[in-house]
Copies of this chain bind each other. A is one copy, B any other.
């Protein structure tokens, strides 16, 4: 049994006694409390923990109003939560069980019509707790098991148990990151974790700034905002008219959030210039320089370059050092979007792909992708201290009072564009504690090895064609599956292209309907629909990769 260091030995005994004394007691099934338990429940010493046990509880006549803070609501509350935990632990068990489906697919209209008593409509009157528990079960039943060993559909996959525990605790604590006052421990965890991340980036002594934001798109948006503030601080007060026409540069393979940021922040998406890439999807530095010169020639101001470290589709790493040289030459802000690639900074074997990242002005890094932290967990890291606050602070008096009794430099909320901010740090901090840096490293290396296994398996296999040649830089393996009916056709013919374009969507639809596995597909530029396999799932084994390939062939063979 685990005791906190402040827990005295009577606590241990108490828990132990209660446990051995539990199920034989009369009156438990009816929900009544024994005298011993009543004593335990009213125990006022907050360092003594009570161990609760499941009882058979009839929830059909119980309602939310019977739970805490209702008078005598404690037992009902505990039993309700334990019943829910039973549902959740069963779900977790099945998630890792390869004999269960990844999903049980239904069309929107089917779910909207109501499935066997699962009714999504809301009403004026309350439902019983029994119905609520059934709804919880059904919600999971008709969802997608993103932690299943054969779920490869997104950059974020897997179900990390420590991270999950962190999220359960976070939601129980239910607080907000804006001040030290109401989130003292979490604010400090964020500060220490951001510092560790900056050390890994290579900024001297881990100095700098940063914040966790609701996803990589918002982190990238931050980078554009602070770049603008750095060079044209008057825009904060006077608007875009206080600056010349500002231009942002990013790869044609980069994430669409840079363009979204350009549109949202008032630059205009046309002022986001897309850079050409080589056949592996990496920015060509000379193209960047040519486009900067072109923009300058037109009298516009080149402000910002985004270098992608791990592109969404190809997993490509732009050459950061060469881009940094150009940014220095033209006095531009260098942002590195490592939303997907960031985890590789934790791997001694793979971090060379980030070579030059320490020269960046800002970096996006999403632990919720490659590192398996539950959604959401994204950091924007900034080399210059104070600039986030300078860019965003509005000094709201009701929240950030200067006359508090503690060091208010720990009230970090005014750096954010949000006011309330969800606690995204705890699960990540807890995972780092539980795995150590080496645990993350092992996970990263394993995923990259698996991805190379897939690459080696299919690169010369009949019926497969790689979208780009060579070992992938990240875990992205992009390929076409060519059904027998298309093999031998002229690959440059329009007919072939049209037919091939339909193969991946068709196989994907069949996959979802059979529920066996999930993998993404998309076109890219002139290339017709292809599969993009990514591996971030810690549950995936070589046998799951084999399964995926078998499944693609099973479903696609007859197309």
> What's the number of copies of this chain in the assembled complex?
2
The stretch from A267-275, A301-309, A353-361 touching chain B is A267-275
Q: Compute how far the CA of A161 lies from the CA of B59 in the bound complex, rounded to whole angstroms.
A: 15
For residue A532, which residues in chain B have a CB less than 8 angstroms away from its CB? 398
**In the bound complex, do residue A419 and residue B240 qualify as a contact, i.e. CB atoms below 8 Å apart?**
no
A132 CB within 8 Å of chain B: yes
**In the bound complex, do residue B87 and residue A49 qualify as a contact, i.e. CB atoms below 8 Å apart?**
yes
**In the bound complex, do residue B241 and residue A240 qualify as a contact, i.e. CB atoms below 8 Å apart?**
yes
For residue A514, which residues in chain B have a CB less than 8 angstroms away from its CB? none
**In the bound complex, do residue A89 and residue B93 qualify as a contact, i.e. CB atoms below 8 Å apart?**
no
Interface residues of A in 180-239 (CB under 8 A from B): 180-186, 188-189, 192-193, 196, 214-218, 221, 225, 235-239
Indicate the member of A78, A91, A122 with the most B CB atoms within 10 Å.
A122
**In the bound complex, do residue B192 and residue A174 qualify as a contact, i.e. CB atoms below 8 Å apart?**
no
Closest beta carbon of chain B to A124's beta carbon, Å: 4
Indicate the member of A138, A143, A159 with the most B CB atoms within 10 Å.
A143
Given contacts A23-B23, A68-B161, 16 further A-B contacts (CB under 8 A): A2-B59, A46-B99, A85-B85, A88-B172, A123-B433, A131-B433, A132-B165, A146-B173, A159-B174, A167-B167, A238-B270, A240-B268, A255-B396, A375-B420, A398-B524, A405-B512
**In the bound complex, do residue B240 and residue A161 qualify as a contact, i.e. CB atoms below 8 Å apart?**
no
**In the bound complex, do residue B84 and residue A404 qualify as a contact, i.e. CB atoms below 8 Å apart?**
no
Closest beta carbon of chain B to A143's beta carbon, Å: 5
Q: Which of B260, B269, B433 contacts A417 (CB 8 A)?
A: B260
For residue A167, which residues in chain B have a CB less than 8 angstroms away from its CB? 167-168, 171
For residue A396, which residues in chain B have a CB less than 8 angstroms away from its CB? 255-256
**In the bound complex, do residue A120 and residue B189 qualify as a contact, i.e. CB atoms below 8 Å apart?**
yes
- For A119, the closest partner residue in chain B by CB is B433
Interface residues of A in 1-39 (CB under 8 A from B): 1-6, 16, 19-20, 22-23
**In the bound complex, do residue A93 and residue B50 qualify as a contact, i.e. CB atoms below 8 Å apart?**
yes
A376 CB within 8 Å of chain B: yes
Q: Mark A471-502, 1 if CB is under 8 A from B, else 0.
A: 00000000000000000000000000000001
Q: Which of B68, B81, B99, B188 contacts A165 (CB 8 A)?
A: B81
A126 CB within 8 Å of chain B: yes
The stretch from A286-294, A326-334, A424-432, A457-465 touching chain B is A424-432
Q: A82-B85, A108-B188, A392-B260 are in contact. Are A401 and B505 (CB under 8 A)?
A: yes
**In the bound complex, do residue A182 and residue B78 qualify as a contact, i.e. CB atoms below 8 Å apart?**
no
A298 CB within 8 Å of chain B: no
Interface residues of A in 313-328 (CB under 8 A from B): 313
A295 CB within 8 Å of chain B: no
A-B contact pairs, 5 of them (CB 8 A): A65-B439, A120-B192, A122-B432, A122-B433, A215-B419
Q: Compute how far the CA of A177 lies from the CA of B256 in the bound complex, rounded to whole angstroms.
A: 17
Q: Compute how far the CA of A88 lies from the CA of B189 in the bound complex, rounded to whole angstroms.
A: 20
Q: Which of B159, B266, B434, B520 contacts A127 (CB 8 A)?
A: B434
Q: Which of B127, B161, B241, B255 contacts A245 (CB 8 A)?
A: B241
Q: A2-B133, A108-B180 are in contact. Are A88 and B168 (CB under 8 A)?
A: yes
Interface residues of A in 419-456 (CB under 8 A from B): 419-423, 426, 429-439
**In the bound complex, do residue B439 and residue A64 qualify as a contact, i.e. CB atoms below 8 Å apart?**
yes
Q: Compute how far the CA of A28 lies from the CA of B49 in the bound complex, rounded to whole angstroms.
A: 22
- For A245, the closest partner residue in chain B by CB is B241
A467 CB within 8 Å of chain B: no
**In the bound complex, do residue B174 and residue A164 qualify as a contact, i.e. CB atoms below 8 Å apart?**
yes
Closest beta carbon of chain B to A207's beta carbon, Å: 17
**In the bound complex, do residue B245 and residue A523 qualify as a contact, i.e. CB atoms below 8 Å apart?**
no
